[in-house]
Each structure stands twice: as structure tokens, then as C-alpha cells.
């Protein structure tokens, strides 16, 4: 879009934004002429070239909701940006007890006043004129609950847009669009740093790493544990737990295209370390169920219900039975010679150690609570 | 003449029908029992059922209501050794699996007025299932055990 800011110490405003900040622009705004006239008077024809025009309407002089809708529906593809950054995701979760520090990085938009907010378990208005004014950093939290952070940049004419996230715990970059929807994902760019709750040692080195705890919870979230069974949304997730040379851990998510509500299999073949020097410390997967919750889509399909209403018997889950895992889960640990970590929607994390005698599986005492623990946000024995 | 033949056939069919409705209960008595004896697996399943009966989890309580075993005590859980019951439960599991007369041998438990039946080969994907039947051998519930 037409203005840009950078918060790297050399904040720069391009010509359009400078004019927006000038007293003269305020006069025009007060006169109800919005920005187009100001732009034309102050910048001349060069300004108009940068203001998107569709169906004869300039973006800066749209006055009604109908104008905005017509303009947006006719946006030419040539005006669109390249979309969200490569490798980005469209949501960022925060878990109970975590705090976040949000800092302005840059802006590239022209709405006056665009309002930058974060919504969710922690919420705040970050900037009330976020295309023009770099907003101050804010630390929010500890979060009172689990939830998804929603980053909202609202243009007074076009409303809000989507956002995209890159990075890994604890540091992310958030690319926010306003409702102008030119898909350049740079209308506001901010950094988001997570601070974990202080947790007592869990007795397990993997679970004592706050990044690992967050990523394990992310894995459960990706399984849509609270979706109704049989809707096709809920499915097991899993991957490999990698240990770095500095004794921190990474939960690598390795999707299984054949995963169902009752099965996940780590794909065969070679799984190289995501970073040099990493060694496998375990496997992990999710059991996104509560006790006696229905499980659809189990095999064989001729025997078990695949979708609600198909009049076949429905298998039910017991995620805390057998020490937290099925016999194939225990076998996976045996075969790999490393533990299998399992998180379920009963609020429990289990570690299945290799070579545990089968008769001892039901008495597995390597388990932690992630829900309603004694310390919010911790994995409590 | 034709009418006599028809009557004979009808009587034969009727008698055969009566016989077949009574035969399955005792059919296995002539052969080996379809009841699995107590072993480490039966101990694990017994433990699972006992935990289920004592659980305060809302999902478990709802399941006990559905199956009709609320109020049943763990002491009322017993491994079934009656071959007629095991045969009938095995037959019901055959029906579930879409096979006939497989001769499967099962772990059967009496849980109050219901039966729990487990064949380690009956799985929902990776999970071995414990199947609950009422005392008329009507299928009630299936839950993952291990």
C-alpha cells in the first residue's frame, strides 16, 4: 500500500504518510474530504498513481460501505501482493500461564486511523493509528486460559484482514493485513516473544523445556481435540522429539496423510534432523479424545462406524488406559529404543518407555497433567 | 400328492427351525470351550473393568449408565467359564466381524447383568476392543482397552 514505517531506529515515512501526519491533512479530514483531495493537492499526480483505483473509485475516497464493497470486489489481481510468507501459519496459540511481549516492527498501509489489536485470552489495543505511528511494545499476560491469539488491524473503510505467523517458540513474527486485502501481508509487522510460566521440575528433561511443552500443546491443537467426532476434523498428530546439543528439544510435526481419530503412523523412510547436531529423543503423538468419546473412521471400515449414522458399531476411546497407549504405541517405543510421548485430551501426558514389560503397561507411572495442574501452564507429575 | 409333499417339507423346515434356534447355546459343548482361561490378559482386562466401575470421570459414568453397570462393584466382575455363554458371545463377535463360525476363543466377563467380551484380534485400528453385551446378547458398547 502507500505508506511505510520501520522501527529499526531509522523510522521512515514516505511522502504520503508524511502528508497524513501534517496539519493540513487534519484540516481536510475535518472537512470530510478524507485523504484523496489532500493527496492530490499535496503530492500532485504522482500520488494518484499510487492510490488504487477500481471501477472509477479511488481507495482513499470511498465513503460508504457499498463503495468499499464494490471497490474491493473489483480489485485487480495485478494489485495483489504475493500472499502470506512462505512457511507461515494462520494462527498462534497461547496457553495458560504464558505471557507475550508484542513489539512494532514496521507498517505499510494508509488507513487513518487503522487500529492494531490483539484479541484472545490476552487482549489489548496496540496502536490506534497503526499505519502511521509506531506503537509502543506491550507485555500481556500471564494468560488466564488456553486460546488462539487473533491479530486484528482494522481499516476504517475496509475493516480487518487476516494474519500470518512465522517463527518458532518463543519468538514469532506476525504479518497482519487490514481489510484492504492487497495480500502483501505487511500492513503491520510485529514481533511476538513468549515468556513461559515458572514450572517446578517435572522429572522429565523433555517436558522441562518450555518450548517443547508449547509445541506438544500445539500438536494437540492441530488434532482438533474439541471438534465433534465424525466430522473429519479430529485426527491424531505426531512426529519426532529431537534433542539439540544445548539440551533443548524440538517437537517436529510429521503429518500422516492416513491419520484418523484412532490412528497415527510415523511415515517410513529416513527422517533427517531438522537442524544439524540434533539426535532423536523420542516419538510423540496425540490421542485427541476424552474418556468413552466416540471414534469414527477406525479400521476395518467394514466393522466400525466411519461416519455418524452409518449404523455400524462405534468404537470408543479410553485414552488413559494401558498406561496411556495402545500396544502398538508401546511397540513403537520398543522398536525405536526411545520413549513415546503421548498427550491426550483428558489433560494428561504419558511417556511410554521402551522395553517396559507388557504386564506393567497398565501401571505406567510416567504421566503428567497438563490440564488443571497445580501450577498453571506446567506439566505436573 | 403335491400337497402332502408340501406339508412334509413345511414340517421338516419348522422342526429344523426349532432345532437351530436352540442348538447354538450348546453347540460348543461337544467341542473345546470358546472361553479363554485366566491369564495375564484376563487380569489386565479385569483391572480395566474395575477401574471403569470405580471411575468418577463423566465419560465413564455416562458409559456405565448406557451399559447398565452403574452400581456394579469390582467384586461382581468374574471371568466366565460357561462354554455356552462364550460360544454365544463368540457368535455375536463373528456377526460383528462379518464371519461365520470362526471358532474364536474369547475372554468373557460377567459384569453385573451384562457381559464383557474380548478377542485380542478384534481391533478398532490399533486398539483392542472390549465389547459389552446385555444378557440377551444384544451389543451395547465397544471401548478401547489396549
A298 close contact with B: CB closer than 8 A: yes
State residue A66's pLDDT score. 63
State residue A363's pLDDT score. 93
Question: Cα separation of A358 and B44, whole Å?
Answer: 10
CA–CA min distance A283, chain B (Å): 17
Select the residue of A304, A346, A361 nearest B124 (Cβ to Cβ). Answer: A304
CA–CA min distance B12, chain A (Å): 35
A295 close contact with B: CB closer than 8 A: yes
State residue A143's pLDDT score. 96
Question: Cα separation of A299 and A315, whole Å?
Answer: 10
Select the residue of A290, A315, A346 nearest B144 (Cβ to Cβ). Answer: A315
Residue of A6, A52, A10, A63 whose CA lies nearest to A183: A52
What cell was used for A173? 513474527
Give B-chain residues touching A303 at CB under 8 angstroms. Answer: 96-98, 122, 124
Question: Cα separation of A227 and A138, whole Å?
Answer: 33
Q: Of A60-64, B45-49, B52-56, B77-81, where does mean pLDDT reach its minimum?
A: A60-64
Residues B29 and B84: beta-carbon distance below 8 Å:
yes
Q: Are strands A279-287 and A340-344 parallel, antiparallel or unpaired?
A: parallel
Select the residue of B43, B48, B62 nearest A292 (Cβ to Cβ). Answer: B62
Q: What are phi and psi of A140, to 5 degrees?
A: -120, 140
> Residue A93: how many CB atoms within 10 A of its CB?
20
The pTM (predicted TM-score) of the whole model is: 0.77
State residue A268's pLDDT score. 80
Give A-chain residues touching B62 at CB under 8 angstroms. Answer: 292
Residues A241 and A250: beta-carbon distance below 8 Å:
yes
| Residue in B closest to A258 by C-alpha | B125
A75, with CB counted inside 10 A (0-12, 13-18, 19+), is middle
Per-domain boundaries in chain A: 5-79, 92-195, 210-369
What cell was used for B38? 485366566
Residues A25 and A43: beta-carbon distance below 8 Å:
no
Residues A100 and A141: beta-carbon distance below 8 Å:
yes
A247 close contact with B: CB closer than 8 A: no
Bridge partners for A154 per DSSP: A115
> Residue A148: how many CB atoms within 10 A of its CB?
13
Helix (H) / strand (E) containing A369 = strand A367-369
Q: Say which CATH architecture domain A92-195 belongs to.
A: Sandwich (2.60)
Backbone CA torsion sign across B118, B124, B128, B134: negative
Q: Who contacts A253 (Cβ-Cβ below 8 Å, separation ≥6)? A: A215, A218, A219, A222, A237, A238, A239
Residues B93 and B73: beta-carbon distance below 8 Å:
no
Per-domain boundaries in chain B: 33-144
State residue A139's pLDDT score. 98
State residue A80's pLDDT score. 60
Cis ω for the linkage preceding A142 (within 30 of 0):
yes
Backbone CA torsion sign across A281, A282, A288, A291: negative
CA–CA min distance B74, chain A (Å): 17
Please report how many Cα atoms fall inside a 13 Å half-sphere around the Cα of residue B54, on the Cβ side. 11
> Residue B136: how many CB atoms within 10 A of its CB?
6
Residue, of A70 and B111, whose pLDDT is higher = B111
* A314: helix, strand or coil: coil
Select the residue of A262, A290, A303 nearest B97 (Cβ to Cβ). Answer: A303
Question: Cα separation of B143 and A378, whole Å?
Answer: 30
State residue A174's pLDDT score. 97
ipTM > 0.85 (yes/no): no
What is the rounded average pLDDT for all residues in chain B?
82
Contact B145 A321 (CB under 8 A): yes
Tens digits of pLDDT across chain A (381 residues): 334 444 443 333 333 333 333 333 333 333 333 444 444 444 444 343 344 544 444 555 555 566 556 656 655 544 567 789 999 999 999 999 999 999 999 999 988 899 999 999 999 999 999 999 999 999 999 999 999 999 999 999 999 999 999 999 999 999 999 998 888 999 999 999 999 999 999 999 999 999 999 999 999 999 999 999 999 999 999 999 999 999 999 999 999 999 999 999 998 888 999 999 999 999 999 999 998 999 999 999 999 999 999 999 999 999 999 999 999 999 999 999 999 999 999 999 999 999 999 999 999 999 999 988 788 889 999
Contact A302 B96 (CB under 8 A): no
Please report how many Cα atoms fall inside a 13 Å half-sphere around the Cα of residue B61, on the Cβ side. 3
State residue B101's pLDDT score. 84
**B38 torsion bin: left (phi>0), alpha (psi -120 to 50), beta (else):** beta
Q: In what order do the strands lie in the sheet with A249-253?
A: A249-253, A238-243, A279-287, A340-344, A348-352, A367-369
Amino acid at each position: 500500500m502507500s505508506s511505510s514505517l520501520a522501527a529499526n531506529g531509522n523510522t521512515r515515512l514516505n511522502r504520503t504518510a508524511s502528508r497524513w501526519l501534517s496539519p493540513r491533512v487534519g484540516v481536510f479530514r475535518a472537512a470530510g474530504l478524507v485523504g484523496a483531495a489532500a493527496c492530490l493537492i499535496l503530492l500532485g499526480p504522482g500520488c494518484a498513481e499510487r492510490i488504487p483505483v477500481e471501477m472509477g473509485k479511488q481507495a482513499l475516497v470511498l465513503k460508504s460501505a457499498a463503495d468499499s464493497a464494490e471497490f474491493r470486489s473489483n480489485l485487480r489481481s495485478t494489485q495483489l501482493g504475493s500472499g502470506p510468507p512462505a512457511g507461515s501459519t494462520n494462527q498462534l496459540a497461547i496457553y495458560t500461564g504464558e505471557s507475550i511481549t508484542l513489539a512494532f516492527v514496521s507498517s505499510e498501509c494508509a488507513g487513518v486511523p487503522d487500529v492494531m489489536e490483539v484479541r484472545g485470552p490476552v487482549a489489548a489495543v496496540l496502536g490506534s493509528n497503526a499505519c502511521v505511528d509506531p506503537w509502543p511494545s506491550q507485555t500481556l499476560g500471564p494468560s488466564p486460559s488456553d486460546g488462539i491469539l487473533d491479530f486484528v488491524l482494522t481499516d476504517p473503510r475496509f475493516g480487518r484482514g487476516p494474519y500470518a505467523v512465522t517463527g518458532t517458540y518463543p519468538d514469532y513474527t506476525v504479518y497482519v493485513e487490514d481489510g484492504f486485502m492487497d495480500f502483501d501481508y505487511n500492513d503491520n509487522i510485529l514481533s511476538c516473544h513468549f515468556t513461559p510460566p515458572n514450572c517446578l521440575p517435572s522429572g522429565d528433561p523433555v517436558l522441562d523445556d518450555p518450548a517443547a511443552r508449547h509445541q506438544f500443546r500445539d500438536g494437540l491443537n492441530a488434532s482438533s481435540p474439541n471438534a465433534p467426532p465424525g466430522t473429519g476434523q479430529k485426527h491424531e498428530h505426531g512426529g519426532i522429539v529431537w534433542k539439540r546439543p544445548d539440551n533443548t528439544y524440538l517437537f517436529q510435526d510429521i503429518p500422516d496423510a492416513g491419520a484418523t481419530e484412532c490412528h497415527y503412523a510415523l511415515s517410513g523412510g529416513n527422517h533427517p534432523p531438522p537442524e544439524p547436531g540434533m539426535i532423536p529423543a523420542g516419538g510423540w503423538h496425540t490421542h485427541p479424545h476424552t474418556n468413552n468419546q466416540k471414534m469414527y473412521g477406525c479400521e476395518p471400515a467394514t466393522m466400525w462406524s466411519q461416519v455418524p449414522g452409518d449404523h455400524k458399531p462405534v468404537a470408543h476411546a479410553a485414552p488413559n488406559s494401558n498406561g496411556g497407549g495402545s500396544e502398538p504405541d508401546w511397540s513403537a517405543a520398543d522398536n525405536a529404543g526411545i520413549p513415546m510421548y503421548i498427550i491426550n485430551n483428558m489433560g494428561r501426558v504419558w511417556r511410554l518407555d521402551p522395553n517396559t514389560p507388557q504386564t506393567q503397561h497398565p501401571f505406567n507411572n510416567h504421566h503428567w497433567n497438563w490440564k488443571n495442574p497445580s501450577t498453571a501452564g506446567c506439566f505436573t507429575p | 400328492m403335491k400337497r402332502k409333499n408340501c406339508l412334509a417339507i413345511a414340517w421338516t423346515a419348522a422342526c429344523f427351525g426349532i432345532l437351530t434356534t436352540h442348538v447354538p447355546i450348546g453347540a460348543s459343548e461337544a467341542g473345546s470351550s470358546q472361553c479363554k482361561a485366566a491369564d495375564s490378559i484376563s487380569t489386565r482386562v479385569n483391572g480395566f473393568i474395575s477401574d471403569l466401575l470405580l471411575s468418577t470421570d463423566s465419560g465413564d459414568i455416562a458409559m456405565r449408565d448406557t451399559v447398565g453397570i452403574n452400581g456394579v462393584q469390582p467384586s461382581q466382575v468374574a471371568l466366565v467359564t460357561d462354554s455356552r455363554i462364550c460360544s454365544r458371545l463368540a457368535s455375536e463377535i463373528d456377526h460383528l466381524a462379518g464371519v461365520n463360525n470362526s471358532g474364536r476363543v474369547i475372554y468373557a466377563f460377567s459384569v453385573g447383568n451384562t457381559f464383557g467380551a474380548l478377542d485380542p484380534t478384534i481391533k478398532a485400528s490399533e486398539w483392542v476392543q472390549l465389547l459389552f453385551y446385555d444378557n440377551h446378547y444384544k451389543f451395547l458398547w465397544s471401548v478401547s482397552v489396549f
